[in-house]
């Protein structure tokens, strides 16, 4: 979190890659962040984002994005297309290309303080961008990286949707490194160990079915796909609150 010249705190900003319908972004804004820009190539999802985030800049193709047109932000979030990394590759004839390298390129150019990446926790043996390759790439750029798994049901959802997140902080001579006991404590917090009241539904059960009967909603297929791909807002808000608390603590120090 930055401070203005008069010493007042400035609202921290996020940039969103592979935004979808903005599940990450909504959760972060609920935690006090401001969305500066979003990158999403799908036209339907672009329209959804325009209604939800009228103040954010929007871009379509990540290949055309760089520090030349993306504003500096405090946090970059995103879930790069996962079909090539997960078992979904077996089920879909048409697959989105793996864009983990583009994610890393944007991080390298903008050098945000915090990076948060989301992808499925179960991956293929031949995945082009498994979590450990992504982690190694961030570490080569000077980030300290914390991998953790989190289920949507841990934050109050009625479905599991377990995902693997990578939380990374840029290290420099003026910043405290996330190491040892502090690192382990944050990992336990993010995985819900300190929140027994919201983890009682972890035990199992299939995700509830979504009714697929006609109901008059325009472009229902796109709506269902977009909802299925989105990060649960409760999950992103929970993580964002931990990041906000950390940023506030370091500004106060």
Per-residue pLDDT in tens (0 to 9) along the chain, 253 residues: 555 545 445 899 999 999 999 999 999 999 999 999 999 999 999 999 999 999 999 999 999 999 999 999 999 999 988 665 555 555 444 455 679 999 999 999 999 999 999 988 777 777 788 889 999 999 999 999 999 988 777 777 666 667 889 999 998 644 445 555 555 555 555 554 433 333 322 233 333 333 444 444 456 667 667 666 778 888 899 999 999 998 887 655 5
**What's residue 124's pLDDT?**
74
Domain membership flag for residue 1: no
Are the beta carbons of 82 and 98 closer than 8 angstroms?
A: no
Domain with 144 in it: what CATH number? 3.40.50.150
Domain membership flag for residue 7: no
Domain membership flag for residue 123: yes
- Residue of 112, 114, 84 whose CA lies nearest to 100: 84
**What's residue 212's pLDDT?**
43
**What's residue 51's pLDDT?**
94
**What's residue 27's pLDDT?**
94
State the total domains in the chain. Answer: 1
Q: Distance between alpha carbon 130 and the CA centroid of its chain, in Å?
A: 16
Phi, psi (5° rounding) for residue 213?
-75, 155
Domain membership flag for residue 193: yes
**What's residue 160's pLDDT?**
66
Domain membership flag for residue 47: yes
Helix boundaries (H) for 31-179: 43-52, 100-110, 131-140
Write out the residue range of the structural domain in which residue 118 sits: 13-252
Q: Could you tell me where the beta strands, DSSP code E, fall in the chain?
A: 13-17, 34-39, 57-59, 75-78, 114-120, 143-150, 163-170
Domain membership flag for residue 4: no
| pTM of the predicted structure, to 2 decimals | 0.76
Domain membership flag for residue 181: yes
144 three-class SS: strand
Domain membership flag for residue 2: no
């Amino acid at each position: 979190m930055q401070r203005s010249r008069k010493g007042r705190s400035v609202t921290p900003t996020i940039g969103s890659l592979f935004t979808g319908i903005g599940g990450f972004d909504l959760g972060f804004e609920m935690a006090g962040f401001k969305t500066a820009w979003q990158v999403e190539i799908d036209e339907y999802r672009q329209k959804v984002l325009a209604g939800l985030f009228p103040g954010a800049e929007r871009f379509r193709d990540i290949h055309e994005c760089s520090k030349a047109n993306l504003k500096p932000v405090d946090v970059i979030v995103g879930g790069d297309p996962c079909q090539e990394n997960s078992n979904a590759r077996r089920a879909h004839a048409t697959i989105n290309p793996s864009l983990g390298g583009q994610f890393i390129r944007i991080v390298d150019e903008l050098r945000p303080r915090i990076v948060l990446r989301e992808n499925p926790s179960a991956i293929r043996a031949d995945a082009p961008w498994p979590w450990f390759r992504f982690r190694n790439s961030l570490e080569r750029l000077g980030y300290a990286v914390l991998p953790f798994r989190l289920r949507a049901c841990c934050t109050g959802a009625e479905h599991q949707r377990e995902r693997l997140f990578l939380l990374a902080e840029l290290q420099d001579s003026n910043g405290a490194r996330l190491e040892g006991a502090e690192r382990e404590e944050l990992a336990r917090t993010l995985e819900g160990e300190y929140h027994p009241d919201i983890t009682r539904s972890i035990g199992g059960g299939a995700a509830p079915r979504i009714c697929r009967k006609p109901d008059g909603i325009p472009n229902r297929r796109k709506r269902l796909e977009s909802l299925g791909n989105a990060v649960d807002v409760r999950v992103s808000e929970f993580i964002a609150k931990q990041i906000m608390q950390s940023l506030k603590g370091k500004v106060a120090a």
